[in-house]
Amino acid sequence: MGKGEGETVVVTGANGFIASWVVKFLLERGYTVRGTVRNPDDSAKVGHLLDFPGAKERLSLHKADLLTEGAYDEVVKGADGIFHTASPFFVKGITDPEEQFLAPAIKGTLNVLQSAAKTGSIKRVVLTSSTAAVLYNGKRRGPDVTVDETWWSDPEFCKELKMWYYVSKTLAEKSAWDFVKDKHFDLVVVNPAMVIGPLLQNTLNASNELILDMLTGAMKEYPNLQLGYVNVKDVALAHVLAFETLSAEGRYNLAVEILHYEQVAEILRKLAPGYPVPSKMVGTGPKAPTYNLSREKAEKLGIKFTSVEDSIAESVDSLKQRGFLSKL
């Protein structure tokens, strides 16, 4: 057995893209895992979790609603730690930002932390945040600027640009830090950039959907954006190490490289020849400047980042294997 032998942890949103890998790694290390999901009886959405090695002996699934106060009281009782990953992320069909993003992210995070505070057993909570809570504040970004964990996105700046996901992640993380100031447990936050790589679940997550759209022709022109990219397995391992490493503290930015969509398109054309990858950028303005995202803290934690090319290749292969992308 690994480091987790004898320890019990809770993973919220356990059937999500990142969380599925977190659950897999925790089981491999010997933890007993309590996963919360919307419907434990929906085999199409949770069945993959039950197939993990060790799941039969050490995984239980529990129904919990992010917005219901006290919904996590029973499932966290007696547990040693919590991985709070549950929070909405999508880029299509945004009609009610308050209901779709802000309430689940902020109220959901506080509900989980309030439940943690009611039981004396919790030692640490690892929260999944995002570089969406780090990068967007109107400050100049360029090749000579390194963004580190001291940066914060400005919610008002993001609201003006209707960047509701960024608002939700920033306010949820700030609320979490405020809440734990006087609590018996500590908080460590993981801030990944765009998370790509292989899917374990049978549903399509938003970041891999963007890769899919570039391959199927659904995206006719690529955006004028520079984004950080990181492999889902590296993100999941960072969660586990953030829990296990006693000296872990604060926030951890996670990105192996910053790429313009043009570069992503070039990689896709090389990896998947024959697919209608867009070759033109939206608009006529100058290309968005690149920047640097510090990964020193993550590397000290023990993360050896997967290359972005390998991560994109894993996404493409996974999309084919899961039937989301037809094979030429």
What are 44-89's pLDDT values in tens digits?
999 999 999 999 999 999 999 888 899 999 999 999 999 999 765 5
Average pLDDT of the residues in 180-200: 97
| pLDDT at residue 162 in the model | 87
Task: Give me the residues paired with residue 239 across strands.
Answer: none
pLDDT band at 102 (very low <50, low <70, confident <90, very high): confident
Q: Which residue has tokens 């995984």?
A: 59
- Residue with the bigger pLDDT between 238 and 159: it is 238
Q: CB–CB of 140/100 below 8 Å?
A: no
Q: CB–CB of 125/109 below 8 Å?
A: no
Query: For 53-57, 99-103, 157-161, 292-296, which range has the lowest pLDDT when averaged over its residues?
Result: 99-103
pLDDT band at 94 (very low <50, low <70, confident <90, very high): low
pLDDT band at 307 (very low <50, low <70, confident <90, very high): very high
Give yes or no for residue 104 having a pLDDT over 80.
no
Distance CA 296, CA 118 (A): 35
Q: What is the mean pLDDT of the chain?
A: 93
Query: For 30-39, 102-111, 201-210, which range has the lowest pLDDT when averaged over its residues?
Result: 102-111
Average pLDDT of the residues in 108-119: 95
Average pLDDT of the residues in 4-19: 94
| pLDDT at residue 1 in the model | 35
Average pLDDT of the residues in 137-149: 89
Give yes or no for residue 161 having a pLDDT over 80.
yes
Distance CA 260, CA 262 (A): 5
Query: For 120-124, 179-183, 210-214, 283-287, which range has the lowest pLDDT when averaged over its residues?
Result: 283-287
- Residue with the bigger pLDDT between 81 and 165: it is 81
Query: Angle at which helices 108-118 and 164-179 pack, to 10 degrees?
Result: 20
Query: For 92-96, 147-151, 187-191, 221-225, which range has the lowest pLDDT when averaged over its residues?
Result: 92-96
Q: Which residue has tokens 């889902």?
A: 232
Instruction: List helix spans (H) across the chain.
Output: 17-28, 43-50, 55-58, 73-76, 97, 108-118, 155-160, 164-179, 206-216, 232-244, 261-271, 296-301, 308-321
At 290, list the tokens.
């690149």
For residue 325, give the 3-state DSSP assignment.
coil
- Residue with the bigger pLDDT between 286 and 2: it is 286
Q: CB–CB of 268/211 below 8 Å?
A: yes
| pLDDT at residue 296 in the model | 96
Give yes or no for residue 157 having a pLDDT over 80.
yes
